[in-house]
Structure 1
Amino acid sequence: MGLGQSPVTAANHTLRTVAGDGDTTGRSQEVDPKPEATKSMPSASEQLAQDLPRFFPGITSKDIQAYIRDGGNYEPSPLLQRELGTPAGVLTKHSIERSTIFPGSKHDYWVYVPKQYRGDKPVCVMVFLDGESFLKTMPPLLDNLIQEGSLPPVIGIFTNSGVAGPGYPIYGGKGNRAVEYDMVNGRLASFLDNEILSKVRGQYNISNKAGCHGILGLSSGGSAAFGVGWHRPDLFGRVVSIVGSFVNIAGADAWPSMVRRAERKPLRVWMQSGSKDLDTVFGNWPLANQQMASALAYREYDFVFEFGEGGHNLRHFLSEADDVLRWLWRDVPADVRLPNRP
């Protein structure tokens, strides 16, 4: 079968093949408010091609081309903008100056608290890995979906990976992202539980039920989100992986085999990739995601795999983010719902 098709079928999961498109990476671009008359502003793809060698000094021109390609026709969901009359939650920034689980690395994180939070009953929580990438889109979406009753009150935690580390294999660079996100050990789950969630629990009344905890990530953050749920299904029961890096950057290509060999864990998983997703020295993302979906189907997980035509970015996900979160957060425990809400 071609990349746009998959033999994955099972009674309790859904496979969707969706056509779509995009030409940006989900990253904001600074624009000169008064450009010179002769000045030509680079496109998003051109800017990305310029930025990648700064972050990854060892990246090849062939791999750069894999990052900037895209396809399809994906328009962002209107609910990424707060609707008129919808109450806005509060977003605050925090930092962990010195992690004990990832020694020597500082982590920034932001906490979103919905307007409906009262503190008299437990609420759900959702972690966004590479959280700064989602600060403009997800808080308004959470506001809208909580207001319409599709989601229970959810406290959002938007956390970045550590700023100091060995960088990526082969590509080089700085940062601790590969160590935290691309390995298959349980250190990230322990970090989230012991160094971030513990602080948030000290301030807010958060449910202790796994069905009230979700986690979402992009690229290496997508495979990492699955890993957190895998290692701590007692803590995170709902997972979103966007163009997940189930490839051999630091061993995450082992996930499909690990899923097949183990008994099914109590996880609900939404994952997405596209035919223009990455094909680099580390592996082929479309094939890796199809292998992962096939493994989840083999073990009869409750999951959705959407395979479209987009590249390695947020465009496909943002076109239907509201429906993704509605699916992810269906059937929450009764004690965390708003009064008179389904």
Structure 2
Amino acid sequence: MVGAPMGLRRKEKTASKRMSAAQKRKFIALAGLVFLCAVFIVGIFYSSVYRYVHRMDKDQIEQNVFVQGIDVSGLTKKQAIAQIEGRWTVLRNTPMTLKAGDKTAKVTLSELGIRQGDVEKLADQAVAYGKRGNLYQRYRKIRKAKKEKVEYETGYEIEEEQAKSVLKEKTVDFFEGAVNASITRVGGVFQIIGEKDGETADTEDLLDRIRDELDDLEAGREIELEVSSMKEEPKISRKDLEKIQVEKGSSTIKVKRDDRKQELLPLTAALNGQVVMPEKKLSLQSVLEKFLRDGTPGEALQMMASCLYESAKDAGIVISEFHKPQSLGSGQKDGLTVRFDREQDLEIENKTEAPLYIESYINGEGELVCTIYGAAANDEEKDE
């Protein structure tokens, strides 16, 4: 076979090379066009996303954001706080009805000492939603809020002891409470009435249910809560009081004036029959609070305190607080051995294993008498 002439083969190779170069230029041009289109599309997308993400001012809260049940969309932090606090002002003063049978009582969140949580922190979180991260992350968050609302809640601050105390006070007559055993001394003989079990409002459960209601409360809408009860056992039993059998110590003070006797009579009635349980204290200020407040003459009050002090000292009872007179003076002759008023208390503490019973009266000889009774020594040893 005769081959093609050398010159012809060279021309064909040159043409092939030229075509290849043309194709390359065409490819590069096409690729550039595609790149420019892509950049254009990405630019349009980026511009669209950027405008979407920045459609709200940086100080405005995104759409469909709620704080404590309030829609704060489009608000600034200051406006959101004003809305939240306005709602709380209404809520804290809206009464809730507590009910058990035919007994009802009203209570407000304000009375219970319940406060809103950190509102400023919540508002900061609401403003920050969709404002942090890269553009795509922010876009995703804002789109997500379109589908389901974003909610910010905070735990309410509750003064539990105050709340339980108020609930107990409000429901005190809802149930028949336990009755302690009681003791009196009549004609030199102790008489005891036995204890009785009872019921009391379950304030722990009630507070838990109020706590559960907080996030769903609507401004101005009253709610009603059924109060459940729990068993209440008496704090003092017949068995406890039966330990009181013997005199532990006694004191008498001669009352010379008839008007002083009249001043002392209501004081002795208030102190007479007081029972001090083991490991408990008796404050004379608490017992005679009414008389201290009503201006009973100081000499009568100090005479009562001195008589109790001397009987406690005679009984060997711990006297945890007392105050000596500033000077002995003529008062010492009248038996005023301690100072007692609204600022200076007399307090005795029962460190024995049995209850103490205090008897106080004015006898037929015009003497102020104070006697403390308790368990016989051998009975206390048995308890130990």
TM normalised by structure 1 equals 0.23
TM-score by length of 2: 0.21
Which structure has the bigger radius of gyration? 2
Higher relative contact order (CA 8 A, sep 6+): 1
Q: Quick check: which one's helix share is greater?
A: 2
